[in-house]
Structure formats: structure tokens, C-alpha cells
A and B are shown apart, each in its own frame.
Chain A
Amino acid sequence: MPTYKLTINGQSHTASAPADMPLLWVLRDLLDLKGTKYGCGIGQCGACAVHLNGVPARACMTPVSTATTMKITTIEGLSMDGSHPLQKAWCELDVPQCGYCQAGQIMCAAALLAGNPSPTDEDIDGALAGNICRCATYLRIRAGVKRAAQLMAAG
């Protein structure tokens, strides 16, 4: 079985896995990074969203063999200590209900804010169109992204 060298959250990891094993299961089962969630396995729900070179990607659809050259960021690495403005805003506004989708929501929102520091409702809806929240906390997700944008603007 091939061994892959991966750069995750700034750290080097190795994983022995078949080439087609999705990054999702490498993270969860082999590297014990449980923040990236399995929800559908076909890129429909967004619970497994991570960043590959800063761009949101679905870990369930990313074979480990294609991720070796990229900088992988998971929810565990979004900030060292939960201090990313989105993480702060999510706690401040009490966004989650069950919480299972929220890592994916936050990762996609983080990519949005990185390129658009003051998104409108439409921008947010567009960026998070691929993320299902079964508890339907969408109003707070919208508010959370806007609050995070404020926090970022305030420095």
C-alpha cells in the first residue's frame, strides 16, 4: 500500500492508504482528525469541507493521492485556539443546534471571507449553497458570517 506525505494544518503527516481512499477517511480514521464530518460521501452536503491551498474542497471526493502536493487545512487548523472570527461569531450568536454540519459551514464561510470581507446575504447564500444544515440554522449562519466580517473589520 502506498504511503502519502500530507501537509495538514501546517504539520507533516504520513498515511498508508490505497490511492483512492478519500481524504475524509484518511483524516478521520488514520489521523484521528474528527472535525471533518461524513454526511453523504458524494459531495452533496458539505459536512466534510476542508481547504486545499486555501480553496474549499470536499474531502469525501478528494482521493488522498491528489492531496499530497497541497496545503490541507481542516477545522482543527482554522485557528490555533478557536479564535478565528467565524469561530468567535458562531459562539457569540449560538449558531449550532446539533453542530454536525458546522465545521463544514465554517470552512466554506472562511474561504468566502478571505476573498470578500463584507459579504451580502446573496454572497453568503452562494458560498454556502453546498452545505446542508439539517437543523436549519441558516438564519444564524447568515448572521454569524456577517458578525465575523465585523469582527475582522474591527481587527
Chain B
Amino acid sequence: MTTPTMNRRSFLRASGLAGGGLVLGFYFKSTGRALGAQVVNASAGAPAAFSPHALIRIAPDGVVTLISKRPEMGQGVKTSLPMIIAEQLEVNWKDVVIEQGDLNAAYGDSQGAGGSSSTPTDYEPFHRIGATARTILVEAAAQTWGVPAGECYAANAAVHHRPSGKTLEYGDLVAKAATLPVPDAASVKLKDPKDYKLLGTRVGGVDNPKIVTGQPLFGMDVKLPGMLYAVYEKCPAFGGKVVSANVDQIKGLPGVKDAFVLEGTANLRGLMPGVAIIAENTWAALSARRQLKVTWDEGKVADTSWDKFVAQARELSTKPGARVLRKDGDVDAAFAGAARVVEAEYVYPFISHACLEPQNCTAHWKDGVMEIWAPSQQPAGAHGLVTSTLKLSGDKVIVHLTRSGGGFGRRLSHDFVVEAAAIAQKVNAPVKLTWTREDDLRHDHYRPGGLHFLKGAVDANGRVVAWKNNFFTFGNGAQPGSGGNLGGDEFPGRWVPNYLAEQTVFDCGWPMGPWRAPGSCIFAWVIHSFIDELANAAGRDPFEFRLDLLGERDQMPGGGGRGGGTYNVARMRNVLKLAAEKSGWGRKEFAKGQGAGIAFHFSHRGYIAEVAEVTVAKDGQLKVDRVVAACDVGAQIVNLSGAENQVEGSVIDGIGTMMFQELNIERGRVVQGNFHEYPMIRIADAPAKVEVHFPKTNYPTTGLGEPAIPPIAPAVCNAIFAATGKRVRQFPLSRVDLRWS
């Protein structure tokens, strides 16, 4: 994203909604009720407020409102990103009002939140937005006093004249500031980081007071006057079509307003065929659904199953893969001449996002305009899917953003949004679509499972000389699903002289989508578990072995893990050493059944190393006792509390995923339906301690929603090996026998 150019035109445009002009809007306010249709007139809206950028509004009474344009799903951007503007604007955080922005062209991008990209995208522009506004306010005060701007400075939401001690509060400068030209953002002076008062401190989430008192915030909480409630039944087998349904009977059930079939499309991440039931409340819709009888055309997907693909992969594993991802040197020759050769099969299942707030969306079709309230990670994507599926022009679709009860990549898909919109087109009222937990688990866009057939070798000096990965993944057509694509330069590609990575894609017809740190979240486990196997074969310390493997050079050209550029080896060595040092690696004695493991991974621009310490009871019960994470995400932590929370949560999410999560897919459908069959980690399985270290480095500030996840699973599994001698090569751990004697 380039720095937005600020001028009077964009500032006026920003005061209206997308497209400008007269827009009818319902406003979902914190009471949980829409206040009704309001007319927002863009030209008349040119405010008494000072708004040098669409994200800032300063009212004459001094109230500073900052818009958070990106979706909040727990990653903390609604707090952290406005903090950047506030820092440069010299306002007191406690006095700032944060408003959730809807999808609005004035904000200048798709407003997505994914790939840990919000912070790196907005960091520099937001500094400049805040500094630009501050510069104008200082100029306004200087002109008011007839003094040089250089004699003035901003602090505590006021401009001060150094020589005279005079002060003017921002509110009093609004009228004057609004008349001044907006300087080029590139020309404004940014604060010296050593003068930061807010960035790097611990700041609580701006919605916390509402969260802890149960006020409506989430998509699920939207309520509009006259709103009806919908449920939507899709074919249990992915992509199946409706042949017939007893909708006439359903229409006669208590509380039911309507029931109908939607033909849908063939897009697995779009509007799938199904049967909608519209009722006067959620329970009436759910109750009626229990009477619903649908005949489905399940199609050929009903012949597919996970077990069949696994068997097929094992059969094919001895032959070359379908596609070579990377080939360096000659692995076969290297294996023939190696001191030790290790072979292993790693396998992991499909898993679900399982956001705690099930998918939902409220839509209102009125006068040719589709108005939508959605817990979306990418409102522009929701907008695009609705306009293309329902053949509406872009200006006829309005997307309001609500808080999301978890995202993890799930809400980058907008099937639930287009379903709500398609249903709303047939209902003469606003309608809220609620997915059940079963809908959510059975119609997710899953993280693909996979199998890796690995062969590696070390030479007589205990160094890795060959690495072969025959990888089987899943996709639709020849393309792997999101997170099922192993990069040709995924570590340790480029580090090992004889290297071969091959990939075979099973065309499965199952929906797949990005799951928190796609690819990295599971490849890191395979890679760092196998590195540990090689370290063990070489009889070397797992930390020293990794340092040696990373080598002496500081930069490895040619791209790194997902979302990265050049792999900065020096940064990785530093966090690896830091995690080892802080954890006391090599200096601690562990009893049998206890041990430590280490792993690192570069993803989403972040360099992360983690050490896990575990206890495995004789009966195989695993307890993660302590985790030490060293995270290099650049020069400046924005919100220290939020950053630590992300790392703690990532670590525990990663532990839960490896311990419990597994979907069986049989006859083209997911077997599990709810949390009793798909367990999530609970509080007792959370480690006692997660210690987070953020070394400050001279690199751009980057995001933390994802990169701390990948190293935890291998760190824990390597610790299990240290504790018990048992190597975990299959997920989830609940399927692995960890008993020892």
C-alpha cells in the first residue's frame, strides 16, 4: 500500500459512505438495535469536524475519533493500528474514541485482515496519517498566534507555543485547521521512536469493556427492526445438489415464515445449493430444520474418503511424485555415500477453523440495494462474491463490518455471506442467517491434511547432506488447496546440497481454505521433527545441529517461507540462540519422562524460535510445562499486551491442534459434528508458563497473528522424544501411544 495522498477532495469524500452521494444506511449501534434508516449526505456531511484523512475526525469539542478500517477478530488491530495514529497525533489514548469502519472506498484498500499483513501494511502509512494531522494542527495554532510553526509543538491533544507558554487545544483549532491545505504525507516529520509514549506499552483492547459486560459487538448480535431468522441446510457431501425437499410441510411448522430451495453454484467457496428455512426466531428455524427431509444428488464426491487417499499415497510413495518442486544436487548418490540415512512417514489430518462464533450474516434486500452485516476478514471479498453471484452492481451492495468471534482464516471465505444475501433476496425483511456448530464443522474450508515421505542423510561429521520429501497433498484440480502447497524454497531447501522435494495433489472435491499460518502451521512440524531425527541420527544436540544447519551466511537469497522475501539467516540464528539461552537449553537436567525440544520457523515476515518443556507420564499423558518463544518481528512492538497475547494464544492453539484435532472425511463428508467429537484444547491442557521475548531489531515492524504458531508443534514433539524416546509422526497426538516404562 502506498501512502494515501490527502487532499480536500478525499477528505470530503470520506465523510460519506462508499460511492458518495445519498446512501441509505441502517446503523447497528451498541444498543444492538439499528436506529433506522438514516440519510447521510456526503456534501452536507462536510463536517464541523477536522478530518484531514478518512480515518481521523477531530470534533470542535475536542473528541478525537479514529476509524479502525480492518476487521477485528481477536488479533487486536482495532486497538493496535489506531495506536499508531494516536502516537503521531499526540493525543491521549484514554480520550480517543475508536470506531469500526465499514467497507468504504475512502479507506483506500480491500480492508482485509489476513496473512499477518495488517501491521506491515499500515505501519508506515498510519504514522504519516497521524503526523500529517498533527502538522496541520500545529500550523493552525501558529497562524492563530502569528508565530512561526517551528516555535510550536503538539502534546496532550493541544498545541503549545514554546516561548510564550500559550496553549490551544485541538478542539479549538478545528475550524482553522479545516481551512488549511493538507501537506504531502511523505513530507511530514515523524516522531523519533525514542519519544514514543504509547507504542510499545501494554494497552487493553478497546472493546474489552463491552466484551466483559456482554454488550452486542459480534455479527451474531446484529438485530434489525422486523428481522427474521434463517438456517440453511446443505448437502452433507461437499458440493451435492438438492433434488427435492419437503418445503411445503416445513412452511406449515410453528414460527416458520418461509422455506425454499436455492439452486446455488458449483463454487465450493461460494453459494452452494441448499434449503433455507426462514422463521421468527432462531429456535423456530432450528426446530423446523429437524423436520426437513431433503433428497440430495451427492455426485462423485461421495466416492472419496481420507482413508482411501492415505492408502493411495502410501502405494505411490515409492515412485516419483507428480511434480518436482525443487531439485539440487543428487539425493540418491548422497544417500548411497552417507554415514546415516533416516526414513520416515509423517501424516496429519484435515482440520477445521472452529471459530467459536459460528458463521453468520445479516442481510437486507430493499429497493435494489443489498445491505450486509458480516463478521468478515475481508469485506471487499464478501462484497465481490455477493455482487458476482447475485449479479448486482458494486454500488448496490453495502458491507458493514462487525467484530468476529475468531477468524483464523475462515472468514476470508464468504459462503455464509452470499448465502445470507441470496436468502434475503427472497425475503421481504432483514434476515439473519445463523450456522449451527455442525454446519460450521461440516462446511468449513479446511486445512488440508497431508503425507510426507521423508528420507534424509548425515555425513560422518554429522551434517545434513541429503533431504528428500515426497509430499502428498489435496486440491481441486491440479492446484493444492490453500496451505497444501509446499514452497520449493521451504526450509531446508537451499541449505542442503542434495535436495529433492516432490508434490502430488489428490483432486478431492473437498473445500479447503487458509488456516492460521497456512502451510507453515503444519510444514514446520514435519520439517523440524525430521531435522530432530537427523540430529539424533548424528548423535548431536538438537540446538547445535540447527545452528550448524543454518550456517554462517547472514542472508539466503531466493525467498523463504510463506509471505517472506529473502530469508534473513542472521535474524533466525539470533532468535534460535535467544530461545535456547532464555530457556536454559543444555543447562537443565531432566528426569525420565521430562525433556525439552526446540524448533524455529520463518513465516509471515516473522522469525520465531520456540523451546518447549514437557512431562509425559508413564500412562502417556502429556503436559506442556513451559514454552519460551523468541520472536523477531522487527523494530517496534506496537501494543505489547496484544503482541504477548497473540504469541501465548498461538502457542496454546498450536498445542491444542496437535493434541486433539482431526476430521474424518468419509464418503465426501465430514464425520464430526460438534465439540464432543472435535475436541478443542481446554484450560487444564494449557501450559503453566509461556515466556515471550521480542528482541528489537532494525527491520520493519511486522505482524503476529500467525508466525508464532508453526514452531510450537515440532518443539513439543521434539521434547516428547527427549522425554520418552518416542517420535511423533502422526497427528493428532490423541492417536499416538506415548506410554513408557
Contacts and interface: CB of A to CB of B under 8 A. Distances in A.
Q: What secondary structure prevails in chain A residues at the interface with B? A: loop
Contact of B229 (A29, A47, A74, A137): A29
Contacts of B282: 25, 28-29, 38
B74 A98 contact: yes
A25 B688 CA distance: 36
B437 interface: yes
B19 interface: no
A32 B407 CA distance: 25
Contact of B283 (A17, A74, A95, A99): A17
Given A94-B208, A134-B354, A137-B649, A142 B281 contact: no
A21 B684 CA distance: 32
A54 interface: no
Contacts of B217: 99
Contacts of B690: 139
A37 B73 contact: no
A87 B406 contact: no
A100 B218 contact: yes
8 smallest beta-carbon distances between A and B, as pairs: A35-B214, A98-B74, A100-B405, A75-B214, A97-B74, A136-B652, A138-B686, A99-B211
Contacts of B646: 97
Contact of B76 (A97, A128, A133): A97
A96 interface: yes
Interface residues of B, number: 69
Nearest to A92: B204
A91 B208 contact: yes
Interface of B: 32-33, 73-76, 202-205, 207-209, 211-218, 220-221, 223, 229, 254, 281-283, 286-287, 354-358, 403-408, 434, 436-437, 641-642, 645-646, 648-653, 656, 674-676, 680-684, 686-690
A141 interface: yes
Contacts of B649: 97, 135-137
B213 A139 contact: no
Given A47-B356, A132-B675, A134-B356, A90 B682 contact: no
18 contacts: A1-B254, A29-B282, A37-B218, A37-B220, A38-B220, A41-B286, A74-B214, A82-B213, A92-B204, A94-B205, A94-B641, A96-B207, A98-B406, A102-B212, A103-B211, A121-B688, A128-B683, A136-B681
B600 to A, nearest CB: 21
Contacts of B281: 21, 25, 29-30
Interface in A59-118: 74-76, 78-79, 82, 86-87, 90-92, 94-103, 106
B356 A142 contact: no
Given A39-B437, A44-B676, A132-B680, 8 more contacts: A32-B32, A38-B434, A41-B436, A42-B675, A75-B214, A96-B207, A98-B406, A129-B682
A129 B683 contact: yes
Contacts of A91: 204, 208-209, 212
A78 B356 CA distance: 22
A140 interface: yes
Given A44-B676, A91-B208, A39 B214 contact: no
Given A37-B405, A90-B208, A98-B406, A44 B683 contact: no
Given A34-B216, A39-B437, A82-B212, A135 B33 contact: no
B674 A94 contact: no
Contact of B405 (A33, A92, A98, A129): A98
Contact of B73 (A33, A98, A133, A142): A98
A148 B328 CA distance: 58
Contact of B211 (A39, A96, A141): A96
Nearest to A105: B683
B277 to A, nearest CB: 15
Interface string A7-46: 0000000000110111001001110111111111110110
B74 A44 contact: no
A18 B404 CA distance: 30
A28 to B, nearest CB: 7
B221 A34 contact: yes
Nearest to B354: A134
Contacts of B689: 139
Nearest to A83: B213
Nearest to B255: A18
A95 B649 CA distance: 11
A57 interface: no
Contact of B406 (A74, A94, A131, A134): A134
Contacts of A101: 356, 405
Contacts of A29: 229, 281-283
Contacts of A99: 74, 205, 207-208, 211, 217, 403, 405
A76 B436 CA distance: 24
Contacts of B218: 37, 100
Contacts of B684: 125-126, 129
Contacts of A138: 652, 681-683, 686
A20 B652 CA distance: 37
A78 B213 CA distance: 8
A121 B623 CA distance: 14
Nearest to B207: A99
Contact of A124 (B220, B406, B683): B683
B211 A76 contact: no
Contacts of A33: 214
A45 B282 CA distance: 19
A119 to B, nearest CB: 12
Residue with the greatest number of chain A CB neighbours at <10 A, chosen from B283, B403, B406, B676: B283
Contacts of B642: 94
A42 B204 contact: no
Nearest to A75: B214
A96 B214 contact: no
Nearest to A87: B212
A108 B666 CA distance: 37
